[in-house]
Amino acid sequence: MKTDDLIKVLGADTATAAMPLQRSWRMALVIAVVLAGVAFFAMLGPRADIADAMHHSRFLFKFVLTVGLAASAWAAARALSRPEGGAGLWWIAVVPALLVGAIVLEMSAMPADRWRGLMMGSNSRLCLTFIPLIGIGPLAAFIVALRHGAPARPGLSGAVAGLLAGGVAATFYAAHCVDDSPLFVAVWYGLAIAGLSAAGAVAAKVWVRW
């Protein structure tokens, strides 16, 4: 097959312009937030004492973490969806670093015999169930956006898309969850989000080929 014949054919196919990558990501984000919101309000809803909880820094700090994770993964996923992308990946380390700082503060503020109780919380199973359930729809939306792009590292891109879906899902779930200690968040939110990230890596390896 002559390369020039191929070029002739490609040259004739300029009318069908694909959606710009930035717009497809923005669409995916809107769809993800809607899907997560619908799933959250249909299945859980916010905790009963949310008005009171708003005055507590531990509760509010959960949102710093979840929104921070979503924001950093958002930047990284969009960069990774371009063939040469990869810049901006280190932003993902910011939230874990914040969480480590919060754990140190928590452990110095709380007596050692309470650490275990704070970490186990009262709702770990709920957390492990609902963060993935709320996040699966968003993950699907982000995988579609990755397919529209051209990531040179599909597995890594999918893992980051999973973190993004996890960040979105955990932001909603945190409004329901009554366990506010960073010890609880690190273990159970961490596990649930890691699960979504692993699912994203596998899904992208299967579906994001170009």
Positions in the binding site for other proteins (CB under 8 A):
1-21, 81-84, 149-150, 152, 209-210
For other proteins, which is the closer residue by CB, 63 or 210? 210
- Any idea what the Cα angle at residue 203 is, between residues 200 and 204, rounded to 5°? 85
Distance CA 161, CA 81 (A): 10
Phi, psi of 143 (to 5 degrees): -65, -40
For other proteins, which is the closer residue by CB, 10 or 109? 10
For other proteins, which is the closer residue by CB, 12 or 42? 12
Q: Shortest gap between Cβ of 143 and other proteins (angstroms)?
A: 16
Tokens found for residue 134: 């709320």
For other proteins, which is the closer residue by CB, 3 or 57? 3
Q: Shortest gap between Cβ of 165 and other proteins (angstroms)?
A: 21
Q: Shortest gap between Cβ of 80 and other proteins (angstroms)?
A: 11
Phi, psi of 149 (to 5 degrees): -85, -160
Q: Shortest gap between Cβ of 209 and other proteins (angstroms)?
A: 7
Considering Cα of 107, then 70, then 136, then 208, what sign does the dihedral take? negative
